[in-house]
Chains A and B, each alone.
Chain A
Amino acid sequence: MQRNTFLKLTTALATGLLLNAPAHAQTTTINVAAIADFAGPYASVMPQMQGGRLAVIEWWNKEVGSKLNVQIAVKTFDTRYDVAQTASLWPGIKAELKPVLLLGLGGPDAAALQQRLPDDKVPMLMGTAAYGFGWKPNQWVLNLRPTYPHEAAGFLEWFRTTKLQDKRPVKVAIITSEATPAYADMAKGLQSYTKANPDKATFVEAIWTEVQPTDLTLPVRRLVNAGTDVIVIQTNTAQAVAAKRALQALGKNVPIMLSLHNGVVGSSKALGDPNGFADDFEVGAIADATEDDSAARKFYRMLQEKHGLKSGWNAMTIMGLGQSILAVRAIEATLKAKGAGKVTGEAVRETLLASQFTSNDLMGVLPGMDFSNDAPFPTGTSKVNIATMKDGKVVRAAGDVTVPMVNKW
C-alpha cells in the first residue's frame, strides 16, 4: 500500500518537475561504493553476494530511479579482507567517487572505517551479523542484522518453547575459535546472555579449537555427557563438519545451530552428504533460503528473470539482496525528503535512523528496519528465521521468531 502511494507521489512529482523544468531533464548519478573480497577468506562466497547486490541496484535504477531521473552507480573495490588495505583505499574512494553509502563486507572494513566514517560522513551498511565490539552509540557502521548472540538467543528461545517438554532452560554449548576477535566475541556474548537469563538458558562450555579442527570427538563427548541440548557453531563450515563427524563417531544426535555463512547446504556439501545436516538449523535475521514461495523468493525470481541475477538462491545472495534493498530504499527516502541534489551521506544516515522501513518496503528480504542511535543494528524489529534441512533441501522450521532482549556484554 505504501509503495503504491509512494509511486503515485513520485509520478506526480516527476510530472510536476517535467512540466516546470527546462527542456532537458538532468539524470543525477548517486554513487555507492561496494567493498568486496575476491582473494581472501570470503572469496568463495563473494560472487554470490556481489550478484545479489548488483542486481537489486539494476532493478531499482530501471524501475524506480528512471522515473526519478536518478541512477545509482556502484563501484566495487577489493580489500582482500585486510584492514590496512581498506584504510589506504578509503580516502581515494571518498575523494574520487564521493559515495553516499558504503556496502561493507565484514570485520576489517568495520575496524578500519569505524572511526573515520563519522568524520567523513558516509554511512556503511553491513550484511553480516553485528559483533559485540561494534555495539556503541552513534555509529556510522550499521548492520542489517543484530549480533550473532542475538540470533542465537532468538533460536534458543524458540527451541526451548517448542522442543523442550517442560520449557526448562536450554543447555547450550558453543564451538568457536580464538583465531579472530570476531569468533571469540560470539562465545562471550552467548555466555553473557545465559548468565543474564538463567531461566532461559544454561551455558555448558565453550570449546576453543582451530579454524580447521583436527578432531573434536572427545570435546564433543564432554558436551554430550553434560546433557547439551544445542551446539552453536557460527564460525565456519570446517568446524561444523568436524563437529558433525564427532557426533557421528559418538553415535549421538545433538542439534547444531549454524549461521547463514556456514549454513546447512554449504556444510552438507563440505561433509559430502547432501542431507548431512538434516535436523540441524541455520538461523539469521534475514529471509531464509527455503524453497517456499516467500516474498523474498518472488523478488529473487523477478531479479533472475528480468535483471540478470545469476547467483543461486542461498544465504549469501540474500545478504547481498538485503544490503542493497535497504541501501536503495534509504536513498529513495532521502531523495523524497531532500531532493536529488541534497542526497549526501549524512542525509542518508539521518534517513536510516529516522525512518522505519517495513518488510514490504524491503521486498520481504528483511523483517523491517528500525535503527536507533544507541546500537548499530535494528533493536526494535529483529526477528529471526529458522531453517532446517530435509531431503537435501532447505525448509523453513519457523519464521519471524522474536529475538529476546540481549544486554550489551
Chain B
Amino acid sequence: MIIEFINYTINGALLGLLYSLVAMGFVVIYRASKVFNMAIGEMIVLGAFLLWWAIQSRGMHPALGIAVALGISVLIGLAIERLLFRRLIGESVFSMIMVTIGLLILMRGLVLVIWGPQERQFPAIFPLAPIILGEMIIPRSLAIGGLIAVLAAVALHWFFNRSRTGLAMSAVAEDHQIALAMGISVRRSIAFAWALGGVLSVITSMVYLSGKSLTVLSSEIGFAALPVALLAGLESIGGLLLAGIIVGVVQGLTAAYIDPLIGGNAAAVVPYIFMLVVLVVRPTGMFGWKRIERV
C-alpha cells in the first residue's frame, strides 16, 4: 500500500516535470519577449511532426533526426518572430494573446494540411523498458524527461538571472519601450525567445510522445500545462519545477485514489482548481514578479 502510494507520487511528480517542461517553453517566450504564447501545444505538435518526418519518414538515425528537427524548429521560431511579432513590439497584452490565438488556429490547420489527420507512430527515442525499483515501476521516458526538465530549468534560470544577455532579455519582459530606450535589441530578444521556444518544443515532444502515437490532437497538453506556469508565476523558471511537481503529484494521486471512487475524471480538473485557489491567495503565482503599478 505504502509502496504503491510512493509509486503514484513519484510518477505523478515525473508527469508534473513533463508539464513544467511544456510550461518552460511558454515561460521562456514570455521571459524574453513579453508574449503569452497560447499556441504552445501546437508548437509541441509541430516539433513532434518534424521529429517524425526526420526519423520515421526519412529514416534518419535518431540523433541526426533530433538535430535536424531542432534546427528546423529554430528556423520556424525565427520566422514566426520575423513575420508576426516584429510588428507587435510595444502593443498591448491583448494583441499579443490574440495573435498567438490566431497562430494556434493557423498552426493546427497547417499541420492538418501538410501531414494529414492520420494517427502516426512516434519513434521510441528513449528505451521502452521501464525502470523497476523493487515493486515500483517508473516509465523510463518520463524519468529521463524529468532529468531533462531539471537540467533545462537550472540552465535557463542561470541564463536569465545571471548572464548578461539573459538579464537584458528580462528587461524586455518588463517593458519593451524602456528596454529599447536602454539600448537592448528587443527584436533580437524576441527572436531568441521563439527560437528557444522551438527547441524546447521539440525536446518536450520527445519526452511526451516517445514510443506512442502522434496526431494533431496531441496539442491538448498545452492547456494542461498552463496551470503549472501560472502556479509558478509567469516569470519564474526555477519555480516551474516546484509548481510542476506539486501539480503532477496532486493530479497523480487524484487519478489513483479519487477517480475510481467517483467514477469520473477529477484528475483533469484538479490542477485548475488548485491553481485557482493559489491565485486567489497570491495573484501573481508563487514566484512571479510582483508588478508595481504606477499611474
Interface residues in chain A, defined as those with a beta carbon under 8 Å from any beta carbon in chain B: 39, 41, 43-44, 177-178, 187, 191, 205-212, 214-215, 217-219, 221-222, 236-238, 241-242, 245, 248-250, 266, 269-272
Contact indicator B119/A238 (Cβ below 8 Å): yes
A187 to B221 Cα, complex, angstroms = 23
> Can you name 19 A-B pairs with beta carbons within 8 Å?
A39-B112, A43-B112, A44-B118, A178-B268, A206-B263, A207-B259, A208-B255, A208-B259, A209-B265, A210-B220, A210-B224, A212-B217, A214-B18, A218-B137, A236-B119, A241-B212, A248-B128, A270-B120, A270-B213
Given contacts A217-B139, A269-B119, A270-B120, contact A241 B267 (CB under 8 A): no
Whole-angstrom CA separation of A195 from B267 in the bound complex: 25
* A208 and B264 contacting across the interface, CB-CB below 8 Å: yes
B124 is an interface residue with CB less than 8 A from chain A? yes
Q: Which of B7-15, B57-65, B238-246 is found at the contact surface with chain A?
A: B7-15
Interfacial chain A residues near B139, Cβ < 8 Å = 215, 217, 249
Q: Are A270 and B263 in contact (CB under 8 A)?
A: no
Our pick among B18, B119, B256, B265 for the contact of A266 (Cβ within 8 Å) is B119
Known: A178-B268, A237-B213, A241-B212. A214 touches B15 (CB 8 A): yes
Q: How far is the CB of A92 from chain B (nearest CB, A)?
A: 24
A177: chain B residues at CB < 8 Å are: 265
Known: A44-B117, A249-B130, A269-B119. 16 other contacts (CB 8 A): A41-B117, A41-B217, A178-B268, A207-B259, A208-B267, A208-B268, A210-B224, A212-B217, A212-B220, A217-B139, A241-B213, A245-B128, A250-B137, A270-B120, A271-B121, A272-B121
B102 close to A (CB within 8 Å)? no
Residue among A39, A214, A236, A249 with the most chain B CB within 10 A? A214
Is B260 close to A, CB under 8 A?
yes
Q: Does B161 sit within 8 A of A, measured CB to CB?
A: no
- In the assembled complex, the Cα of A206 lies from the Cα of B129 at a distance in Å of 26
Tell me, in angstroms, the Cα distance from A266 to B11 when the chains sit together.
29
- B284 contacts the other chain (CB 8 A): no
Given A217-B137, A219-B255, A211:B213 Cβ within 8 A: no
Q: Does B199 touch A at the CB level, under 8 Å?
A: no
Q: How far is A242 from B121 in the complex, measured between Cα atoms in Å?
A: 11
Chain A residues with CB below 8 A from B118, complex form:
44
How far apart are the CA atoms of A238 and B219 in the complex, in Å? Answer: 13
Residues on B with C-beta less than 8 A from A210 are: 220-221, 224, 268
Residues of A within 8 A of B208 (CB): 214
List chain B residues, Cβ under 8 A from A241.
212-213
Question: In the bound complex, how far is the Cα of B120 from the Cα of A250, in angstroms?
Answer: 24
Could you tell me if B119 and A215 are in contact, using CB atoms closer than 8 angstroms? no
Residue B35 is within 8 A (CB to CB) of chain A in the complex: no
B129 cross-chain contacts in A, Cβ below 8 A: 249
CA distance in complex: A205, B258 (Å): 12
In the complex, what distance in Å separates the CA atom of A221 from the CA atom of B7? 11
The distance from the CB of B210 to the nearest CB of chain A, in whole angstroms, is 10
Complexed CA–CA distance, A324 and B8 (Å): 49
Task: Give a binary string over B129-156; 1 marks a CB under 8 Å from any A CB, 0 the rest.
Answer: 1100000010100100000000000000
User: Are A269 and B255 within 8 A (Cβ)?
Assistant: no
Residues B215 and A212 in contact, CB atoms below 8 Å apart: yes
Q: Chain B residues near A221 (CB, 8 Å)?
A: 137
CB-CB nearest in chain B for A244: B212
Are A245 and B121 in contact (CB-based, < 8 A)?
Answer: no
The residues of B that contact A39 with a CB separation of less than 8 Å are 109, 112
With a cutoff of 8 Å between Cβ atoms, the chain A residues found around residue B112 in the complex are 39, 43
Cβ of B267 to closest chain A Cβ, rounded Å: 7
Closest A residue to B123 by CB, please name it. Answer: A272
Assuming the contacts A214-B15, A215-B15, asked whether A238 and B255 have C-beta atoms less than 8 A apart, the reply is no
Instruction: Please measure, in the bound complex, the distance between the C-alpha atom of A39 and the C-alpha atom of B123, giving whole angstroms.
Output: 25
Residue on B nearest A270 in the bound complex, by CB: B213
B283 at the interface (CB under 8 A from A): no
Cβ distance A134 to chain B, nearest Cβ, rounded Å: 21
Give the distance in Å from the alpha carbon of A113 to the alpha carbon of B225 in the complex: 36
Chain B residues near A237 (CB-CB < 8 A): 119, 213, 215
Cα separation A236 to B119 with both chains bound (whole Å)? 10
Chain B nearest CB, measured from A270 CB (Å):
4
Q: How far is the CA of A248 from the CA of B116 in the complex (A)?
A: 29
Q: Is B177 an interface residue (CB 8 A)?
A: no
Chain B residues with CB under 8 A of A187: 263
